[in-house]
Amino acid sequence: MALVTALKRLAHVRLREYSRRTAAATSGAWLTGRRSFTTGTQTLRSDNKVTVHFINRDGEKITVKGSPGDSLLDIVINEDLDFDGFGACEGTLACSTCHLIFDEDVYKKLGPVTDEEMDMLDLAYGLTDTSRLGCQICLTKSLEGMVARVPESVADIRQSKDESA
């Protein structure tokens, strides 16, 4: 009897997982421009993208584009930008490795800082008055052309005192 119950639960979990994957795949139909009764049609075009300029630790300017709603951490990952140690916790607000520094005018457009983000920022290396965590900044069209500076170093608890991983 216990085996039958366990198999039913497993089947239910698999069905729920399949339903979730299927829903995710079909809800993204607007990305491909296919007609959908719930999302209409919309073609993904480059003019829907937001340009972001990152200044890396070497002072090099790297220009990339992201979609509105993407976090700056998403962009760094999606564009495979090589910022050593960046985004160690994968956006779970458990570290400060995606610490970025903004100009005052951009900082004012970023929205309020949560208490959780402030707690993590307290651990960030090179903290400034215009520091934020990239995992908490989502792109909007109003941020077009923004500049985000990567600090000189990162406070990453995965590194030992001698800076080795």
Number of folded domains that form the chain = 1
pTM: 0.66
Least confident of 10-24, 39-53, 87-101, 114-128: 10-24
Domain-embedded: residue 15 = no
Domain harbouring 82, CATH code: 3.10.20.30
Domain-embedded: residue 116 = yes
Q: In what order do the strands lie in the sheet with 99-102?
A: 61-66, 50-55, 146-149, 99-102, 131-133
Q: Is residue 152 over pLDDT 90?
A: no
How far apart CA 135 and CA 18 sit, in angstroms, is 28
Structural domain span for residue 75: 50-149
List, for residues 94-125, the tens digit of each pLDDT value: 999 999 999 999 999 998 999 999 999 999 98
Stretch 66-86: mean pLDDT, rounded? 94
Q: With beta carbons less than 8 A apart as the criterion, state whether 106 and 128 touch.
A: no
Stretch 84-96: mean pLDDT, rounded? 91
Q: With beta carbons less than 8 A apart as the criterion, state whether 95 and 120 touch.
A: yes
